[in-house]
Amino acid sequence: MPETPGRARAFDWKEAYARLERAIESSGKRSPEQVARILEQRARTLAQPRGDAPGRPGALELLTFSLGRERYAVETACVVDVLLFVEPTRVPCTPPALLGVVNHRGRILPVLDLWKLFEPAGAGHTAWRRIVTVETGGTHFGIAADSTEGSVRVDAGELGPPPVAPKSAGAPLIRGVAGATIAVLDVEALARDPRVVVNEEVR
């Protein structure tokens, strides 16, 4: 009787037991040398490392968030948590891209203003509702955001190229574009960017 499409086939326990009995009977007809050879071949097969499928790019799990009309994302592996926005305490002699610092789990956490990195000549942005806290290479910092939108999973090979823009616009901080609308940030490059490094000469 043909199977009904979309309906799972019931497991045939009788056939499974019959196969098991046949396997037990046949194993008694093998010589000890044959059994040892079969076991050795199985052991070698199981000992081989399991690699990823060739040519298949790795998957990226991303946390997406918005800033004005723009959408950004960071790898969830770098995300520590997401906080409700609190007004950071301004610190003298810090770059414009640093909003200030907040207390996060007993640690001083600098909070970045991406708007100052990507739109340095803009009038600024003040609609923050969240702080996305990230960590890379032992460096912790927060990113001010309007809202978080959840996580998405994309293939690294499907990322589009970062937009072509002057260095002052922060293009090197973007790894690529997911889904043509989400700019995926390079968290490590962001932590090293000279525009967020504290300099005592900054006024």
pTM for the full predicted model: 0.66
Q: What is the DSSP letter of 88?
A: P
Question: Per-residue pLDDT tens for 37-53?
Answer: 655 665 555 555 544 44
The CA-based diameter of the chain, rounded to the nearest angstrom, is 88
108: three-class secondary structure by DSSP: strand
> CB–CB of 141/111 below 8 Å?
yes
Calculate mean pLDDT across residues 79-85: 94
Superfamily of chain region 59-196: CheA-289, Domain 4 (2.40.50.180)
Calculate mean pLDDT across residues 102-109: 90
Position 5 pLDDT exceeds 50:
no
Question: Per-residue pLDDT tens for 129-183?
Answer: 999 999 998 899 999 999 998 898 988 888 888 776 555 444 478 888 988 789 9
* Residue 126: how many other CB atoms lie within 10 Å: 8
Name the pairing type of β-strands 107-112 and 139-145. Answer: parallel
Closest of 119, 97, 126 to residue 183, by C-alpha: 119
Instruction: Report residue 18's pLDDT band, with 50, 70 and 90 as the boundaries.
Output: low
